[in-house]
Amino acid sequence: MGVTLYLIFMWVPMDAEQKDAQRIFYFHVPMAWVAFLAFFGVFVGSVVYLWKRDVAWDRFAYCSGEIGVVFTFLVLMTGSIWAKPIWGAWWTWDPRLTTTAMLLMIYISYLLIRAYAAQDAQAARFGAVVGIVGFVDVPIVYMSIRWWRTMHPAPVIGGGPDSGLDVTMLATLLVSVLAFTLFYLLLLRQRMAIKKMEHELEGMRYELEMEDAEKWAI
């Protein structure tokens, strides 16, 4: 991550039109990639959980969903910071922004269902369904700037004859994407370990409560 910061602020040239505001791009795009990757993790984990009923896959989906929500929020925040000097407004009801906000709400709902459902197994099943259905919005977010008229800039890769990046800009973007992907994997590993310990502690507490109940019954 340190190398990424050096490339962004010291090595890559300043954009001729957007000036230093464009440097947010090297955070904004990798964060969006991580959000999509995290929600794909929710999708895969949810499908496998419904198939095998393996708690480990449910844990994977839940933890990936938490990370995805955080990164989607950061995408909206960095997008707003970038938009203010370029568009003159913190927020517009642009198709890309609107569908991204919807994506955030969907997966916040996913986490709320998991948190407040009465039974763990029921919460896992309901959450898995929401996680699978909610993933439909991911390709909609990605394709929104191709399907509708939008203020959002065209894709820098595959966006037409005028798309593309300077070699140094592309290299910086790819390094940043790699760094944020590794950061996501690190967060996921740590969060899953914590979630597993929480589950084990909950099981131990339940066993102690049952033992106490049996003693009082005697």
Q: What is the pLDDT of residues 157-176, one digit of tens each?
A: 555 555 567 788 888 889 99
Neighbouring C-alpha atoms within 13 Å toward the C-beta of 109: 15
| Integer Cα distance of 102 and 119 in angstroms | 27
Model pLDDT for residues 113-134, shown as the tens digit of each residue: 888 776 678 888 889 999 999 9
Looking at residue 17, what is its pLDDT?
Answer: 66
Looking at residue 210, what is its pLDDT?
Answer: 57
Does an H or E element contain 102, and which? helix 95-116
Looking at residue 212, what is its pLDDT?
Answer: 58
Residue with tokens 């906000």: 101
Residues lower than pLDDT 70 in the chain: 6, 8-10, 13-21, 118-119, 151-164, 203, 206-218
The secondary structure of 46-72, three-state, reads HHHHHHHCCHHHHHHHHHHHHHHHHHH
**What's the predicted TM-score (pTM) here?**
0.85
